[in-house]
Amino acid sequence: MDGGRGPPFSNPWGCAVSVNVAVVGATGAVGDLMRTVLAERHFPLKSVKFLASEKSAGKPVTFAGRTYTVEPLRPEAFAGVQIVLSSTPGSVSKEFSPIAAKAGAIVVDNSSAWRMDPDCPLVVPEVNADQLHHIKKGIVANPNCVAIPLCVAVKPLHDLGRIKRIVVSTYQSSSGKGAKGLIDFANQMSAWAAGNPVPAPTAHRAQLAGNVVTLDWTLDPNGFTEEENKVVNETKKILGDATIGVCPTCVRVPVRVAHSEAITVEFHRPVSVEAARAALAKAPGVTLMDEAKGEFPQPIHAEGSDSTFVGRVRQDPSNPNALCLWVVSDNLRKGAATNAVQCAEELVKRGIVK
């Protein structure tokens, strides 16, 4: 099949609802994964189309065993579309997400353009899906790839003891820079492993092979990077508590896919390790690993998974009101594509899109 419209797909919820969907930025790394996740989760599609820049328009893409032609990103492409899953640079999002919303669609936008807009909910479905009932501009913002797993992991703990402060150090993979980052990293690793001179970086801001880089993002005037400031602001908005202190240090590490986070959570009252583990064990989206059994979250566990892996839960020896934990999540899936699709699922399940 060619052209983007086919027979209805299976509906996993046993209801009559099916939805017209457009994926914007369909040929990018996250757009490609959005196609995969939509098919894997059997999203209730009535129709689907794939949109991209003029440069990518006309290319074939596969979805659920069918072949589709990528259509150019133009205002008229949104006619009849109910949900847009968008992953484009912020400048493109600022232009086209309002156009799609004006055409009647709800846009789940993966760029940073709308995350701190007070009229756009910033949603992690396991944490604050209720915010989807307050979409004023027709745009739902998909959070940063660090803030998403951070909030999935700490929300059940926040419910136990109310968080006062979070200190987080990240170990972020090369894929955070997209396909260009992975190519850059692969070239560096090949040379480094062979004992040859490592080529100058093309996507990362310094050599990543055999190294870690803490300024792989733009440095903001407050001395924190753009990435770190996103973690501060987005975490507070997702958790719905502006009083929570957040202190991040974001670091790029020589890993292909999946971000790791060392998190210290300070509460307003003591929370035991046992209570925290019990809450995490039943928390949606969390896979709790037991170090007593030799288990601990690693990027190789998370790559290709939609779960947030949590382990090393322990008492902070310096603060009776604090716990430490280690979190790993696939930054391309749960950190981007899967979270967006889950938001779309909630829009349908809650009757917001009919």
Quick: pLDDT tens for 257-287. 999 999 999 999 999 999 999 999 999 999 9
The beta-strand segments (E) located in the chain are 19-24, 45-52, 60-63, 66-69, 71-72, 83-86, 106-109, 139-141, 163-172, 245-252, 259-267, 286-288, 308-315, 322-329
Instruction: Provide the pLDDT for residue 4.
Output: 38
Mean pLDDT of 180-201: 96
Residue 227 has pLDDT above 50, yes or no: yes
Q: CB neighbours (10 Å) of residue 23?
A: 31
Q: What is the pLDDT of residues 115-141, one digit of tens each?
A: 999 999 999 999 999 999 999 999 999
CATH number of the 19-143+336-349 domain: 3.40.50.720
Instruction: Provide the pLDDT for residue 252.
Output: 98
Residue 13's SS3 state is coil
Q: Known catalytic residues? A: 145, 259
Between residues 130 and 14, the one the model is more confident about:
130
| Domain 147-173+212-331, classified CATH 3.30.360.10, yes or no | yes
Whether 32 and 68 have beta carbons less than 8 Å apart is answered as no
Is there a shared CATH topology between the 19-143+336-349 domain and the 147-173+212-331 domain? no
What's the predicted TM-score (pTM) here?
Answer: 0.93
Whether 66 and 9 have beta carbons less than 8 Å apart is answered as no
Residue 1 has pLDDT above 70, yes or no: no
Q: What is the pLDDT of residues 19-57, one digit of tens each?
A: 999 999 999 889 999 999 999 999 999 999 999 998 999
Residue 8 has pLDDT above 90, yes or no: no
Residue 171 has pLDDT above 50, yes or no: yes
Q: What is the pLDDT of residues 68-115, one digit of tens each?
A: 999 999 999 999 999 999 999 999 999 999 999 999 999 999 999 999
Whether 226 and 218 have beta carbons less than 8 Å apart is answered as yes
Residue 344 has pLDDT above 60, yes or no: yes
Burial, 330: exposed, middle or buried (Cβ in 10 Å; 0-12, 13-18, 19+)?
buried
Whether 243 and 267 have beta carbons less than 8 Å apart is answered as no
Report residue 342: phi and psi, to 5°.
-60, -40
Residue 2 has pLDDT above 70, yes or no: no
Mark 231-257 as b/e (b = at least 16 C-beta within 10 Å): bbbbbbbbbeeeebebebebbbbbbeb
Sheet strands side by side (includes 322-329): 245-252, 163-172, 259-267, 322-329, 308-315, 286-288
Residue 3 has pLDDT above 70, yes or no: no
Q: What is the pLDDT of residues 296-309, one digit of tens each?
A: 999 998 999 999 99
Mean pLDDT of 166-177: 97
Instruction: Provide the pLDDT for residue 11.
Output: 55
- pLDDT category, 17, cuts 50, 70, 90? confident
Lowest-confidence pick of 56-60, 214-218, 308-312: 56-60
The residue extents of the domains of the chain are: 19-143+336-349, 147-173+212-331
Mean pLDDT of 310-316: 98
Instruction: Provide the pLDDT for residue 15.
Output: 57
